[in-house]
Structure 1
Amino acid sequence: MVIKNVTKLLFKATITAVSTVLGLVLPAAALEIGSFNVSTTDKDLREALMQASLTVAAADDAETTPRGALAAANADYARLVRTLYALGYYSGVVTIKLDGREAASIPTFNLPAQINQATVSVDPGPQFSLGVAQIAPLAPGDTPPEGFRAGAPARSTVLQETVDSGVKGWREAGHAKVALSEQSVTANHSQNTLSVRLGLAPGPRVTFGRLVQTNDSAVRSAKIARIAGFPEGTVFSPEELETVAKRLRRTGAFSSVSLTEAETLRPGDVMDVNLALVDEKPRRFGFGAEISSFEGVTLSSYWMHRNLFGGAERLRIDGEISGIGSQTGGIDYSLAGRLNSPAFFGTDNDGFVYGSISDEEEENYDLQQVRIGAGASRIFSDHLQAEAALELRYVNTFDDFYGERDFFFLNVPVSATLDHRDDVLNPTTGYYVKAEAMPFVRLDDSDAGLRFFADGRIFRSVGAEKRLVFAGRLQIGSTLGPDLADLPPDFLFYSGGGGTVRGQPFQSLGVDLGGGTLSGGKSFVGVSGEVRASITDSIGIVGFVDAGMIAADTLFAEAGDWHAGAGLGLRYNTGIGPIRLDVAAPVGGDTGDGVQFYVGIGQSF
């Protein structure tokens, strides 16, 4: 008898072990949704419940295990009820069955070997409306959200939004310690109404105290305070607090910036703010590459050091080699460095010094150049910044028409940038404008003048998912003052290539000096339009048209010569921006023929 029982136990253990092994080795049968029934004719309600359901998501995953199916079903009870509450249904009943058994009744540690089918049934009951909707007191001039009123659907999201809005109003009025002091929510199931009474305790009007740094940093404390520009002694403002955090983050010296309001006020209703910082790694490098069938390959790289001298200074060195394998000109080289010191002239006012050397071998000219300069920049807001500098520039250039020439300039470059794009590398909405002006004086001659350039871009998307984007660009530039012969090539303008008119050869449109010699013009206008369509989350296509104009004289002084190009592009979205492939051909002008292609990272503009 004992042997017989032992044999039975061994047999059962063997079967269990084999079943376990097979369950691990063989793929489990896919979970299916047998039905998802919602007792309503409201399609939006049914869609919201299905989107919230983890069981539906588990059924879409071919690798869902029985344990995963049970976990999803058990979590769905609360998720679906919360979704009902969010839409104003407070007497709903949720039933979830797995292979005919109520999910909540299945033991977690005694799972069936397989779960093949799930059925979900939701009886939402009637939608409740707000019978009483009161919140008081509110900050002067503040009003509750539109949906918080008697007779409106009693959505729980609206209730939370109402509390958040009331708290926000008092905080913006300087009452940092406002709190929800009373809440009464009563459901009347016979009348399907929800009565809500909310009370706020504003507390005193608070002024900022000290900014207290709570941990060590490689950046000097005095410089941290200078960068932060903490408004000690002023009335509390959450916007000012966020501005302090942004100032510290944009230095790049910190990987984390945390501001925490003190729990208790000091005498006089003064509130200190604690600052916790985590230093960023001091060094960083990056690289990029672009290829064009006509302009060849461009390779670029940079090396950056954050917090060079302990004051969050940022040193960046950029190097670039371009024109590798180009059909015109030779290989161009450039090396540039810039040292930026945040809050050098006070909060939001940075100081910088820079220098660069370059050697360009283009089809129409050779140019060697050295620049050194110093200046200041100011950040007016998250979207607007400007800078000005004083610069010395030496240029040596040679071309077939003018021969070898030397220039020594004192320049005053000034620029302003207004950036309202939603994404720098892949914008779908907003606009971008950058305007540059550079008065200049030749120190080796008596010539003086002004060069200006403006680049404006606008983006508009269609639909909530922004799968169709219209993008436009306008570039305008002109140089006032000296004649063409008294200006170096980089003070002039050419058109053609990836940055101006795709499909036309690089710098193919300029001013014809005769004898096959081409010079840049004193004025330039460029216009571009794109239609960008997302086929999938990763792949998109683009159609584009570009046009450019070059004039020998200043802008609008005379008619210039135009050319144009058009083509199609392919985009593959990555975590660092889309990879770009554009194929274009000339559609106007006589400066080129054939097809050109361009490869790079980020949208063309």
Structure 2
Amino acid sequence: MSGLRFRIAPAAAAALIYLAPVAFEGARAADPQGYTLSNPDTGDDELDTALKDSSLLILLRSKTPAPPFALIDRARGDFGRFQTVLESFGYYQGKVSITIAGRDVNDKTLPDFLESVPQGQTVEIKSVVERGTQYTLRNVSFHGTLPPGFDAASFVGVSKGDPAVAADVLGGQGALLSALQERGYAFAKVGVPDAYADDAEKVLDVSYNIEPGPRVNIGAISFQGLKHVREDFARESLTVHTGDLYNPSAIEASRLKLVGLGVFSGVSVRAADHEENDHSVPLLFDVQESKQHAVALSGAYSTDLGVSLSASWSHRNLLGRGEQLNLLASGIGLGGSATSGLGYNLQAQFIQPRFLGDDQAFEVNLAAVKQDLDAYDQTAQTFGIYVRKHFSKLWNGTAGMTVTHDLVSQQGTERTYELVALPVTAQYDSTGLKDPLSDPVKGGRGALSITPTIARGKQTVLFTVIQASGSYYFDLSGNGHSVIATRALLGTIQGGSTFDLPPDQRLYAGGSGSVRGFRYQSIGPHFANGDPTGASSVDAVSVELRQRLWSNYGLAAFVDAGQASESDLPFNGSVQVGAGIGARYYTSIGAIRADVAIPVTKVPNGDAFEIYLSIGQAF
């Protein structure tokens, strides 16, 4: 049995060990020697890839020409690199052979032979790698004073009979250290594993030396970098506290909680490198506050809704406890085929985080809108209050109340409505996106809203609007470059006939939000003159292929279908289908989208095509 300090390096690092000879190649013979070579073929794809990645003969063949003596050094270096890769995969008695023009790389006559090769003529290099028998683990042992109840074998990740793969054995070191720290042993040490090879039995014995150190709690928690954000607000937001057992995962979760407040551009946390007398470890949260104010300009164009231009202003920390004030002003409806005049959309929003508890916010909204559409003309003002609750990484919920003064004109008849609504919404998101400007490439999103409403006008009507929407994304390429995006929408109004409801509360289909290729709100029942009536139910589906090209460009192709009906049950009415293609240019503020869609089926007064220009994907 031969004993060795564990020296197996992961394949990815193997090439670095032998890079030194490259630095001296330029000082050798002046004329480069061209060569051809074949990649090592052991029958194991993963091993072959690691061998190829470690080879300087392969890496530098076209990048750095080598004179004869440097070429020999390069080949001899590959010999050692291949041996290291073999051992990293548990093949301790593998064989490596490298020949240049049929001569072994250690052949003393090789330098003179290469010097005699006519200029411009290549030589053949062959690398033959034989794996031999893969060693397995015979014993995995642990030394040191283990904490009571700590089962090291359950954390190390390798056990008797496993292949003696270096990355797995070395990974056990990190796994043990992490397991100890998660249990409060902040200063635990786990040494590089010792390995002893029994060449006769083709096995490896591995031992880990563990020094757990003292078990500690979290000590004093301090902040650095606070300027406008109040410390009591930051401290209340933490999910770890002085006296809690030291736990890196919990500390990281607390750091992410601070990041999620929206008032910090960066948050890092540092633990002291020593234990205090009371067996605690102080923590320091180092924060960088975001700029307090933000201004944004945006615009969009579609042939049905025309040009819209928006400007927003935000204060991210109004009173020092993360309060947000957001103001938005938009001009809408300029030049659209579904509009007949310029309108506006004005909004003011105040958000109070940590309202009556963690993961909960209170929101007040004021909004005013004016729009002149084919379906109706509207001027309305709305006051709303909401409580938003973050239940988990995937689920959020909202409950609130809105009061709206609504002046609506349809088919020459003008009516005023006073509406009181109690919207309740549940939202799901598994896309895993931390940046809202990023495109989703996997997972899904969903929302269900139920809005009981009382409308007082010519008569009093009680009705409930129920809407469900969802989208799901399939990453075909595995890197987000080829994505199939799907979308579905269902809506129904329960209570009151179509014409009992305010026109702006009815359901419509058509446009970028449902079925592209059709004018906004044009799908569904119509008046005799072709203007939309509005419906009591709606449904729509979309399928879109998004193909990214190069780094900043992409294409899209899509098909949408939907229907709207006077029936209060979806899947009634005439199904309308639209299809189109689009181009994407990806920027730091999102994808710039240009889509062209045509109606496959027809509706009264429909357009021949629709164009959509905006920032961000359709869904």
Instruction: Please give the range of the TM-score, normalised by the shorter of the 2 chains.
Output: 0.7 to 0.9
Q: Is the 8 A contact 1:439 1:449 kept in 2?
A: yes
C-alpha separation in 2, matches of 1:572 and 1:57: 34
Indicate conservation of the 8 Å contact 1:543/1:569, yes or no: yes
Deviation of 1:153 after TM superposition, in Å, equals 3.2
Which residues of structure 2 form unaligned runs of 5+?
1-30, 107-120
User: Which residue does the alignment assign to 1:415?
Assistant: 425
Whole-Å Cα distance in 1 between the matches of residues 33 and 601 of structure 2?
59
Measured in 2, the distance between the counterparts of 1:347 and 1:96 equals 68
Which residue of structure 1 aligns with residue 618 of structure 2? 604
Kindly indicate whether the alpha-carbon contact (under 8 Å) linking 2:585 and 2:593 is maintained by their aligned counterparts in 1: yes
Q: Contact 1:186–1:196 at 8 Å: present in 2 too?
A: yes
Deviations 1:91-144 (A, max 9, x none): 8989999xxx99xxxxxxxxxxxxx99989796875752434525468459734
Partners of 2:220 and 2:390 in 1: how far apart? 24
Residue 523 of structure 1 aligns with which residue? Answer: 537
Q: 2:367 aligns with which of 344, 356, 371?
A: 356
User: 2:448 corresponds to which letter in structure 1?
Assistant: A
- Structure 1 231/454 Cα, relative in aligned 2: closer, same or farther at 3 Å? farther
Residue 341 (structure 1) aligns with: 352
* Identical positions, percent: 26
Alpha-carbon distance in 2 for matches of 1:244, 1:565:
47
Change (3 A) 1:152 1:439: same
Residue 254 of structure 1, CA deviation: 0.9
Report the RMSD for the aligned CA atoms in angstroms: 4.1
Q: Structure 2 length as normaliser, TM-score?
A: 0.77
Shift of 1:370: 1.4
Listed one character per residue, the Cα deviations across residues 309-356 of structure 1 (whole Å, up to 9, x for unaligned) are: 221222222233333321231333212122222213232122222212
Asked whether 1:134 is paired with 2:140, we answer yes
Partner of 2:560: 546
Decide which of 306, 319, 322 is 2:332's aligned counterpart: 322
1:603 and 1:595 map into 2 onto residues whose CA distance is: 19
Equivalence for 2:48: 46
1:397 aligned onto 2:408: yes
What is residue 436 of structure 1 aligned with on the other side? Answer: 449
Q: Alignment partner for residue 312 of structure 1, among 288, 307, 322?
A: 322
C-alpha distance in 2 between matches for 1:378 and 1:528: 30
1:553-572 map, 5 Å? 553-555=567-569, 559-572=572-585
Match of 2:26 in 1: none
The equivalent residue for 2:461 is 447
In the alignment, residue 196 of structure 2 is paired with which amino acid?
Answer: T
User: Equivalents in 2 of 1:539, 1:33: separation in Å?
Assistant: 39
- With over 3 angstroms needed to count, the CA separation of the structure-2 counterparts of 1:545 and 1:263, relative to structure 1, is same
Deviates more, 1:449-458 or 1:262-271: 262-271
Corresponding residue number in structure 2 for 1:149: 159
Q: What is residue 288 of structure 2 aligned with on the other side?
A: 278
Cα distance in 2 for partners of 1:285, 1:79 equals 55
Which moved further from structure 2: 573-582 or 417-426?
Answer: 573-582
Aligned to 1:240: 250
Alpha carbons of 1:164 and 1:96: their partners in 2 closer, same or farther (altered >3 Å)?
farther
Q: State how far apart, in whole Å, the 1-side matches of 2:324 and 2:267 are.
A: 18
Q: In 2, distance between residues paired with 1:359 and 1:31?
A: 77
Give the alignment partner of residue 387 of structure 1, picking from 370, 373, 398.
398
State the alpha-carbon separation in 1 of the partners of residues 220 and 497 from structure 2.
Answer: 59
Kept in 1, the 8 Å contact 2:221–2:241? The answer is: no
Matches within 5 A, 1:66-145: 86-88=88-90, 129-134=135-140, 136=142, 139=150, 143-144=154-155
Q: Deviations over 1:353-394 (max 9, x none)?
A: 221211111122111121222222222222222222232221
Scaled by the length of structure 1, what TM-score is found? 0.79
Whichever residue aligns with residue 231 of structure 2, its letter is S
Partner-residue secondary structure (3-state), 1:275: strand
Q: 1:350–1:186: structure 2 CA closer, same or farther, 3 Å change rule?
A: same
CA contact (8 A) 2:376 2:504 kept: no
Task: Tell me the CA shift for residue 156 of structure 1.
Answer: 2.5
The answer to whether the Cα contact below 8 Å between 2:91 and 2:135 also exists between their aligned partners in 1 is no
C-alpha contact (below 8 Å) 1:139/1:169 kept by paired residues: no
Asked if the contact 1:228/1:347 (under 8 Å) is kept, the reply is no
SS in 1 for 2:154: coil
Cα 1:52–1:181 change in 2 (3 A) is: closer
Conserved? CA contact 2:90–2:134, under 8 Å: yes
CA contact (8 A) 1:84 1:124 kept: no
Residue type matched to 2:419 in 1?
F
1:420 Cα deviation after fit = 0.3
Q: Aligned partners of 1:224 and 1:94: how far apart in 2?
A: 63
Provide the rounded CA distance (Å) in 1 between the counterparts of 2:277 and 2:128.
56
Greater displacement, 122-131 / 571-580: 122-131
Distance 1:294 1:517, change over 3 A: closer
> 1: CA distance between counterparts of 2:280 and 2:152?
25
Question: Which string of whole-angstrom CA distances, capped at 9 and with x for unpartnered residues, describes residues 523-564 of structure 1?
Answer: 2111112233445454444332211121224235x9333311
Q: Give 1:33 shift.
A: 7.3
Distance 1:84 1:355 in 2: 68
Relative to structure 1, the CA distance from residue 176 to residue 486 in structure 2 (aligned partners, 3 Å threshold; closer, same or farther) is farther
**1:168 Cα offset (Å):** 3.1
CA distance in 2: counterparts of 1:542 and 1:369, whole angstroms: 37
2: CA distance between counterparts of 1:204 and 1:371?
A: 60
How has the CA–CA distance of structure 1 residues 54 and 218 changed in structure 2, closer, same or farther, with 3 Å as cutoff?
Answer: farther
| Distance (whole Å) between structure 2 residues aligned to residue 436 and residue 322 of structure 1 | 26
- Change in 2 beyond 3 A, CA 1:164/1:517: same
Give 2:170's aligned residue: 160
Measure the CA separation in 2 of the matches of 1:595 and 1:459. Answer: 27
Post-superposition shift, 1:569?
3.0
Distance change (3 Å), C-alpha of 1:200 and 1:378: farther
Q: 3-state DSSP class of the match of 1:303?
A: strand
In the TM superposition, residue 507 of structure 1 has moved relative to its aligned partner by 1.2
Equivalent runs, 1:577-592 vs 2, <5 Å: 577-591=590-604, 592=606
DSSP-derived class of the 1:259 partner = strand
The answer for the alignment partner of 2:311 in structure 1 is 301
What is the CA–CA distance in structure 1 between the aligned matches of 2:507 and 2:99, rounded to whole Å? 70
Alignment correspondent of 1:462: 476
Alpha-carbon distance in 1 for matches of 2:581, 2:227: 50
Q: Does 1:506 align with 2:516?
A: no
* Mean Cα deviation higher: 281-290 or 534-543: 534-543
Compare 412-421 and 524-533 and name the one that shifted more: 524-533
The Cα offsets for residues 156-200 of structure 1, whole Å up to 9 and x where unpaired, read as: 221232222233334444544443157323345676654321133
Of 251, 267, 271, which aligns to 1:257?
267
Q: Which runs of 5+ in 1 are unaligned?
A: 1-28, 103-115
Is residue 532–residue 543 contact of structure 1 (8 Å, CA) maintained in 2? Answer: yes
What is the distance in 2 between the residues matched to 1:80 and 1:225?
A: 54
Alignment partners' CA distance in 2, 1:184 and 1:377: 54
Partner of 1:494: 508
- CA shift in 2, pair 1:443/1:224, >3 Å: farther
